[in-house]
Amino acid sequence: MNVVALDRARSRDDWERTSALAPWLNDPLVREVMVNAGREVWIEREGGLEHVGTLARGEAERIIERILLPIGRRVDHASPVVDARLHDGSRVCIVIPPVAVDGPCLSIRRFHVRDLPLTAFGDDSVVSVLREVVRERCNVVVAGAASSGKTTLLNALCGHVNTGERIITVEDVAELRLQTEHVLRFEARPSTYDGALEVSMATLLRSALRMRPDRFVLGEVRGPEALDMLAAMNTGHHGSLATCHANSPDDVLRRIEAMVLHAAPQWPLVAVREHLQAAIDVIIFVERSPNGQRRVSEVSEVSLRPDVLGTRRIWAEGATSARLARGRS
């Protein structure tokens, strides 16, 4: 190991243990640690936000420097925003002046994706629907607000994929931990100050499709990769899954429609909607309750009525059964 690599390894091991944020970083109940305006420390614990302390002047800058050294990234006035994955899978977002007007801001979302069973997300009626969705090789989008449990549910769904199926995951920041035998994990890369070129999610998805996946899993669709995702779902890669930030199942369709039109403005709107309807079978909507519990609140199928793209609810909280009309097995 060379000197630079050794320094990075030591920094990676030391910064969490010796940081002023250590009490909260080491608390298993804390999901996110945030520093506002260079000093004020907030945490998310058991679903609620708490103001827990104030850093000494200059401490936030020292913490940021020690976070970035092990991962080979830097933040400065020319590139004042960094979004990255730490060695333990946690995500960090850093924003510094001049774009952070009141001082450097930092958010560390601890890696809490666990191998939860589907029963953690609802009762027997919804678990039965979710298992059928995977078994029937439906193309699925898991949707919800930030921190609603989309990635955790995606892990649980993939746990019901047949043993031996080849799965390739593509993520902006790698968070998925699939408990399957045959999985390849791809992570997008931004361009960096040392000359490394950007590798986008769209590029990785196109590469993944050349590597014979039985299913692909897209960590979050939010840009031009939406066009490649729909093309893949429409060309035989059945049973694929993705997540999307959205406020409702219908909002998922509006958002992906906008992404596709941005990537391919020459497409007629009616063609985009037909493409969407043919590609996506099921939308699973997950929500976080006031006590922090993540639950599936709705399962819907995608439908296309004359010139209107929408969803048909097949399960909602309180239902005792559901009927899945679409399947690809």
Write out the chain's pLDDT in tens, 329 residues. 443 443 444 444 455 655 889 999 889 889 899 999 989 999 998 778 999 999 999 999 999 999 998 887 889 988 899 988 888 778 899 999 999 999 999 999 887 655 678 999 999 999 999 999 999 999 999 999 988 989 999 999 999 999 889 999 999 888 888 878 899 999 988 766 555 678 899 999 999 999 999 999 998 999 999 999 999 999 888 999 999 999 999 999 999 999 999 999 999 999 999 999 999 999 999 998 877 788 999 999 998 776 678 999 999 986 665 666 666 66
Distance CA 60, CA 89 (A): 21
Is the pTM of the predicted complex or chain greater than 0.85?
no
3-state secondary structure of 27: coil
Domain boundaries, the chain: 3-109, 118-316
3-state secondary structure of 320: coil
Q: Which helix or strand (DSSP H or E) is residue 24 part of?
A: helix 22-25
CB 33 within 8 A of CB 43: yes
Distance CA 202, CA 34 (A): 30
Distance CA 249, CA 280 (A): 12
Question: With b meaning 16 or more CB within 10 Å and e meaning fewer, what string describes 98-126?
Answer: eebeebbbbbbbbbbbeeeebebbbeeeb
CB 167 within 8 A of CB 161: yes
The answer to whether 3-109 and 118-316 have equal CATH topology is: no
Q: How many Cα atoms occupy the beta-carbon half-sphere of 220 within 13 Å?
A: 18
- Identify the CATH class of 3-109: alpha beta
Q: Backbone dihedral region of 147: left (phi > 0), alpha (psi from -120 to 50 degrees) or beta?
A: left
Assign domain 118-316 to its CATH architecture.
Answer: 3-Layer(aba) Sandwich (3.40)
Place of tokens 């499709």: 209
Integer Rg of the chain from CA: 21
